Amino acid sequence: MEDSKVGEERPKWNNKTEYLLTCIGFAVGVGNVWRFPYLCQIYGGGAFLIPYLIALVFQGLPLLYLELAIGQRLRMGSIGVWNSISPYLGGVGVASMVVSFCVSLFYNTIVAWVLWYLFNSFQEPLPWSQCPLNHNNTGYVEECVESTPVNYFWYRQTLNITPNMETSGSLQWWMVVSLATAWSIVYICFIRGIETIGKAVYITATFPYLVLTIFLVRALTLPGAYEGLIYLFTPDWEILKNPQVWLDAATQIFFSLSVAFGGLISFSSYNSQKNNCERDAVLVGVINSATSIYASIPIFAILGFKAHTNYVTCLNGNILALTNEFDISDMNITVENYEQWFDSLNGTHPSRVSDLNLKTCDLQTFLDQSASGTGLAFIVFTEAVISMPGSQVWAVLFFIMLFSLGLSSMFGNLEGILTPLHDLKLVPKWMPNELFTAIICLLSFLMALIFCLGSGNYWLEIFNSHVGSVPLLIIAFFEIIAVAHIYGIGRFSDDLEFMTGHRPNIFWKVCWLVISPLMLFVVLVAYVVAQAQTHHTYAAWNPDYVNFPDTEVLPYPDWVFAICVLLSSVPVISIPLVAIYRLVCCMSGRHSEDRLHNDPNPYANEVQSQKHVPVPIA
């Protein structure tokens, strides 16, 4: 395929390191820290690695290699790439751009939350370590006392959440300021395109590994760390019989690599065409998965410490009750001999022990208290940090790490929006790139204000569940079909030979032609079926709920469910619409040509040829 003038004038990375760090930073996001460990925990520990690695090899890496290669060869953004392969596939690029835009709205809101916690981490003591006083200064706020200081700070002082989705609430000014700060930082890093991104990723893509290593060293010295790691990695082979495990493994590796967003295609389009994109794909994919596993170790060592701390606190409460009830000298009953004392007293005075209503303290129960996403980052982990010596330092490091992960992922999301718009020549020539980027960031900020409402967290969960799921699977399926079966595996192999110096081996070809599209189709169908059979509900934080502080599980209102369907379908509606539009243009063009040939006017040919512009057909 011949290089276009646009491709020749396209900017390039300063060096290979900047490109690889940018791709790694885009792929490695907050999900590697708070989603993968959770899946390992609930799906049999080490056993989950089997379906995860299978999905990586046969689904993740082939898709990643395909995107990096096609972007590097055609040197265009997502819309330009798929429109070049076939005008009928132009909607695939549009879908990627729309998904990137929608995802960037809520993803940068998460970055704003991280910034809010980071700002508050410099306080002594940490604001989520104790309940605030009530308005009369006569006691503590009742909602905080009934729940926990950590929950209160998250739900009330951060989100000021409403009791249900139908109550919107007002804009929270502190969240608006945090969101504006997040978008301003993204804009500053993106102001000169890959020139400034390439410099920023030296920090944003590498700093999380430094923090994870510091956490790893510290976490392994904490009491309970060993129990946390044993719990995480002890394999439960029986759970592999559950189809849901394989489905979640496939979707996790797919979303973790950030394929189908268009950002990776845009990043690779700034490469020289003589670049080994196969090696790049394998390197980025392996580092991404290795990061997920590496992050799990300190995360669950710390969660093991939290479980151990809660277990000891529970036992000490029972020990105090027994000591007071039976006038036992202090320090006679300890955590180590509690079971013997309890069995002895329960055997001789069962009624008195029963009246004490002692708590059931089980370490396994505390370890089973799993959480993912915001629940892990802003509730479980922050609660664990409180108990760690030097809690301020660990809180600051943790949230700087999350901020770095979120920021580097935002680079890819924004690139997936801006590059296609530039390639389509939709940006006026008089408008500087800095101004256009500012307009997009400002528009995104204004639209993301919905997440700063009292009901914002509920809406963010809806966007996260629906925009970043089915649409990406559909886009990826069309991408791999487009390259392998429309562009042609033979032509694609020629392009790879031109770029890398060798043709793809049989493994890549089989994956592109059969295995990867088949896996994508199965995962897509299974995911849609599973969602259709699920009664969609959400967890609401309602202080008036009878079982508070448990969250109240409520069904989605019908109008919200309709929005969920729209969020899953509208981003990809461009795929059939563009194809139909191209087909209609093609048919109308042929119809005009037929009339031209049958027209008896000898001068009609000259006139019509001036009016008619044929539609390009692949």
5 vs 123, more confident:
123
Q: How far apart are CA 440 and CA 450, in angstroms?
A: 17
The two tokens of residue 354 are 């029963």
Q: Tokens 């790049």 map to which residue?
A: 280
- Please check whether residue 409 is in contact with residue 107, taking contact to mean a CB–CB distance below 8 angstroms: yes
3-class secondary structure, 172 = coil
Q: What is the pLDDT of residue 606?
A: 40
Question: Bridge-partner residues for 538, per DSSP?
Answer: 554
Q: How far apart are CA 301 and CA 381, in angstroms?
A: 11
Contact 82, 89 (CB under 8 A): yes
Tell whether the model's pLDDT for residue 208 goes beyond 50. yes
- Tens digits of per-residue pLDDT, 355-404? 888 888 888 888 877 666 677 788 888 888 888 889 999 999 999 999 99
356 in helix, strand or coil?
A: coil
* 548 SS3 class: coil
Pairing of strands 537-540, 552-555: antiparallel
Contact 414, 442 (CB under 8 A): no
**For residues 558-587, average pLDDT:** 92
String of DSSP letters for 484-524? IIIIIHHHHHHHHHHHHSS---HHHHHIIIIIHHHHHHHHH
Contact 59, 471 (CB under 8 A): no
Residues sharing a CB contact under 8 Å with residue 197, sequence separation 6 or more, in sequence order: 18, 22, 189, 190, 411, 415
Q: Which residues contact 555 (CB under 8 A, 6 or more apart)?
A: 535, 536, 537
Q: How far apart are CA 79 and CA 357, in angstroms?
A: 65
Mean pLDDT on 143-147:
91
Average pLDDT, the chain: 88
What average pLDDT does this structure show over 539-565? 91
Which residue type is seen at 43? Answer: Y
User: Which tops the pLDDT comparison, 193 or 317?
Assistant: 317
Going by the DSSP 8-state scheme, the letter that residue 547 receives in this structure is T
List own/partner pairs for 218-222 with CB under 8 A and 24 or more apart: 218/298, 218/388, 218/394, 219/297, 219/298, 219/301, 219/302, 219/305, 220/298, 220/301, 222/301, 222/302, 222/304, 222/305, 222/388
Query: Mean pLDDT, to the nearest integer, of 465-482?
Result: 91
Using CA atoms of 102, 107, 112, 116 in order, give the dihedral in degrees to the nearest 10: 140
For tokens 């132009």, name the residue.
90
Specify the pLDDT at position 618. Answer: 33
**How many whole angstroms separate alpha carbon 438 and alpha carbon 443?**
8
Q: How far apart are CA 297 and CA 100, in angstroms?
A: 31
The three-state secondary structure class of 469 is: coil
The response to whether 256 counts as a known ligand-binding position is: yes
What CA–CA distances, in Å, run from 155 to 372, 384, 543, 545, 549? Answer: 16, 18, 11, 15, 11
User: What's the mean pLDDT in 274-279?
Assistant: 94
Give the count of alpha carbons within 13 A of 184, CB side only: 7
Positive or negative: CA dihedral 181, 184, 190, 196: negative
Q: Flag whether 405 is marked binding.
A: yes
Reported as a single tens digit per residue, the pLDDT across 68-117 is 999 999 998 899 999 999 999 999 999 999 999 999 999 999 999 999 99
Residue 106 CA to residue 321 CA, distance in Å, equals 48
Judge contact between 67 and 271, C-beta under 8 A.
Answer: no
Tell whether residue 25 is among the known ligand binding residues: yes
Please state, in angstroms and rounded to a whole number, the distance separating the CA atoms of residues 72 and 16.
13
Percent of the chain's residues with pLDDT above 70: 93
Lowest mean pLDDT among 215-229, 261-275, 357-371: 357-371
* pLDDT value at 19 more than 50: yes
- 618 annotated to bind ligand: no
- Our CA angle for 84, 58, 484, nearest 5°, is 25
d(CA 340, CA 213): 40
27 marked among binding-site residues: yes
- The answer to whether the beta carbons of residues 238 and 43 sit under 8 Å apart is no
Cα distance between residue 158 and residue 547, in whole Å: 22
Over residues 240-254, the mean pLDDT reads: 84
Q: Is the pLDDT of residue 336 over 50?
A: yes
Indicate the pTM of the whole model: 0.88
Query: 552 forms bridges with which residues in the sheet?
Result: 540
- Token pair of 445 as six digits: 């900020």
DSSP three-state, residue 540: strand
233 within 8 A of 46, measured Cβ to Cβ: yes
d(CA 532, CA 220): 43
- Distance, in Å, from the CA atom of 104 to the CA atom of 248, rounded to the nearest integer, reads 23
Q: For residue 255, name the pLDDT band (cuts at 50, 70, 90).
A: confident
HSE-CB for 90 with a 13 A CA cutoff? 19
User: Given this model, what pLDDT does residue 597 score?
Assistant: 57
CB 354 within 8 A of CB 272: no
Residue 554: strand pairing partners: 538
Kindly list the distances between the CA atom of residue 233 and the CA atoms of 56, 227, 287, in Å, as whole numbers in the listed order: 19, 10, 20
CA distance 130 to 42: 30
Which pair of tokens denotes residue 337?
């001999």
Give pLDDT, residue 397: 94
Which residues have C-beta within 8 Å of that of residue 491, sequence separation ≥ 6? 1
Q: Is 473 annotated as a binding residue?
A: no
Angstrom distance (rounded) from CA 106 to CA 234: 35
pLDDT tens-digit map of 405-423: 999 999 999 999 998 888 7
Q: Is 288 among the annotated ligand-binding positions?
A: yes
Q: 131: which 2 tokens?
A: 């309940």
Residue 288's contacts (CB-CB under 8 Å, 6 or more residues apart) are 24, 27, 28, 32, 256, 257
State percent of the chain over pLDDT 90: 58
Can you tell me which residue has the tokens 């680079």?
A: 411
